[in-house]
Amino acid sequence: MQQITKAQEAVAASRLRKAQNRATAARPYADRMAEVLAEVASRVSSYRHPFLVPREVRKRLLILVSADRGLAGGLNVNAFRVAHRYLSQGPPASLDTIGRKGRDYFRRLQIPIISDVSQFGDWPGLREILPAVTVAIDEYLAGNVDEVALVYTRFLSVSRQVPTVATLIPVKVPERKEGPRVDYLYEPEAEEVLSQLLPRYVEAQVYAAVLDNKASEQAARMIAMRNATDNAGELIEDLTLLRNKVRQATITKELMEVVGGAEALAAG
């Protein structure tokens, strides 16, 4: 068992490097998308896209990002706790799950799940994630939900992964950074650019969250397997000590029997 957990730790460590690189590479794109959104939105202040208009929240939709597999310590459980808190507080809510663990857990709790994406591998592309985001956007535009939120585990470091909840729709436009402005010419109009940009912005946020969650999963699995390896080593030491004690006691008993028999023969 120790050999298995040690091998699992090595595999997770190898995958962590690639997952961490992918998550880190996706963040600048998401950040730049936010900057472009802020710039365009600042030029069309009179235009109100449905994604920018807050509604009275009567029904909500939560996109939950989890892992497809276990053996990742408390990664999934911590995310489920945050998701459960969100679902239990406020208006009725349904789920849009990305990952098998989240789907199976909340299905047992009989929480309505309107969409599910799972088994997308260790290196998911946007194409695999897109159906879940499309369902959420369509539900909001159709008026079936008034708020779309996202729960995932944010990767901060190998030893620290934080379950995070964020509101996706309505979109909170980032504040534009101070500095000189360039007078762009938009083709088509800035309003049309903003209409096309907002769904892409939501997709980018969800995809970056999935990559973050993947990096967190590999880090949590590596640490869990390392702990399991250490625990197995301690158990091996304890069992070895116990075996030596039993063996020593058996040898001592046999010696005493031999000595006792020899003394009996000598007395006879």
Q: Could you read off the pLDDT of 94-141 as tens digits, one per residue?
A: 999 999 999 999 999 988 999 999 888 878 888 888 999 999 999 999
Rounded Cα–Cα distance for residues 227 and 136 (Å): 38
Please write the tens of the pLDDT for every residue from 4-29.
Answer: 888 887 888 888 888 888 888 877 88
Asked if residue 150 has pLDDT above 90, the reply is yes
| CA distances from residue 144 to 10, 85, 114, 135, 204 in whole angstroms, order as listed | 46, 22, 12, 11, 23
256, amino acid identity: M
* End-to-end CA gap in the chain: 55
pLDDT digits (tens, 9 = 90+) for 197-246: 888 889 988 998 999 999 998 888 888 888 888 888 888 888 889 898 89
- Domains of the chain, by residue range, sit at 2-223
Helix (H) or strand (E) segment spanning residue 147: strand 147-157
pLDDT at residue 36, rounded to an integer? 79
At which residue do the structure tokens 């985001």 appear?
Answer: 133
**Is the domain 2-223 a CATH 3.40.225.10 member?**
no
pTM for this entry:
0.79
More confident residue, 84 or 26: 84
Q: 55 falls in which pLDDT band (50, 70, 90)?
A: confident
Sign of CA dihedral 126, 197, 213, 148: negative
